[in-house]
Amino acid sequence: MPDEGLGQETMETVQFSTVTVNITGEVVEETTQSAQRFTEVLGPGLTLEMVLVPGGVYLMGSLGGGDEDEHPQHRVTVAPFLLGQYPVSQAQWQALMGGNPSRFKGPTRPVDNVSWRDARRFCERLSRRTGRHYDLPSEAQWEYACRAGSATPFAYGPTLTTDLANYNGEFTYRGGPRGVYRHVTTEAGSFPPNVFGLYDMHGNVWEWCADPWHASYAGAPSDSRVWTSGGDPKQRVARGGCWHDTPEVCRSATRLKYPLDEGDEILGFRVALPI
């Protein structure tokens, strides 16, 4: 079992259910999956769950449609890594950083209103506390983890419903149904995970990635490292869409450009750990 960099700790096998939907949003398959998970203890009764994302090869970006910044679609090889099972919560943030910048208060809700620099400071403090090198995922890692082996617009299939993610359900995608518009973030674990065992990769809060913004994938790396060359270092990438967005904006391939020093009620993050 891969556990380099984790000392003597071991991973546990966790089981979970996930679903596949058709173009109208109807659940056509429910399967039981398993994943390897490492649990970091942050304090009494407070943990950080990290899921092993298996390595593989995928096509990053959109083949057709989508925004111009989602092209050209290109093949990326991803090494195994660990990724937060959920976005960083307000309880986790408070334990390490003190205070709570979030608009939508709740200990198990994702922390929101954090800038890219804020998120990096959290990673640095977490790394010092644990002796492990936590950081934001690269954009290529994030999309690979979100897709979880799928080639459809969403990890669950060709459309999205508000039974599967937190977004503005007054809008629909393709043949999907209208749903609810909650106007707030939701607690961790409110919706089914994807096949990798990761929750809230679509909707809830946009999630910061490490990369500077590039307006297209022309010249992008063919592996999953952070794309540091070129681009706009004052703008960083966020992925996944949020509670306020239409389902189209929550697609696996959608990208957001945002100033690295600005936080917003739509912005959160999850952490990554190399193995």
pLDDT of 105-120, one tens digit each? 999 999 999 999 999 9
pLDDT(6) > 70: no
Q: What's residue 65's pLDDT? A: 73
Domains of the chain: 12-274 (3.90.1580.10)
Query: Phi, psi at residue 188, to the nearest 5°?
Result: -55, 140
Q: What is the mean pLDDT of residues 91-108?
A: 97
Q: What is the mean pLDDT of residues 249-256?
A: 98
pLDDT, tens digit, for every residue of 15-34? Answer: 999 999 999 999 999 999 99
pLDDT band at residue 103, thresholds of 50, 70 and 90?
very high
- Burial class of residue 82, CB neighbours in 10 A (0-12, 13-18, 19+): buried
pLDDT(8) > 60: no
Beta-carbon count within 10 A of 91 CB: 19
Q: What's residue 67's pLDDT? A: 87
- Among the residue ranges 58-72, 138-152, 220-234, the one predicted with the least confidence is 58-72
Q: What's residue 213's pLDDT? A: 98
* Preceding omega of 72 cis (within 30 degrees of 0): yes
Q: Do the Cβ atoms of 239 and 258 come closer than 8 Å?
A: no
Instruction: Provide long-range contacts, Cβ within 8 A and 24+ apart, for 29-34.
Output: 33/195, 33/197, 34/197
SS3 51: strand
Those residues with Cβ within 8 angstroms of residue 153's Cβ, 6 or more apart along the chain or in another chain: 159, 160, 173, 251, 252, 253
Q: What's residue 63's pLDDT? A: 79
Distance between first and last Cα of the chain: 11
pLDDT band at residue 4, thresholds of 50, 70 and 90?
very low
pLDDT, tens digit, for every residue of 45-85? Answer: 999 999 999 999 999 999 777 789 999 999 999 999 999 99
Task: Round to whole Å and give the CA distance between 140 and 79.
Answer: 11
- Burial class of residue 35, CB neighbours in 10 A (0-12, 13-18, 19+): buried
pLDDT(155) > 50: yes
pLDDT(141) > 90: yes
Across the chain, mean pLDDT equals: 95
Angle at 120 between CA 259 and CA 80, to 5 degrees: 110
Q: What's residue 10's pLDDT? A: 82
Q: Do the Cβ atoms of 198 and 52 come closer than 8 Å?
A: no
Side chain identity, residue 115: S
- Among the residue ranges 4-8, 62-66, 82-86, 255-259, the one predicted with the least confidence is 4-8
Model pTM above 0.85 = yes
Of the candidates 252, 220, 261, 192, the residue with the CA atom closest to the CA atom of residue 65 = 252
pLDDT(5) > 60: no
Q: What is the mean pLDDT of residues 233-239?
A: 97
Q: What is the mean pLDDT of residues 245-249?
A: 98
pLDDT(9) > 90: no
Task: Round to whole Å and give the CA distance between 88 and 198.
Answer: 13
SS (H, E, C) 4-31: CCCCCCCCEEEEEEEEEECCCCCEEEEE
SS3 57: strand
pLDDT(7) > 50: no
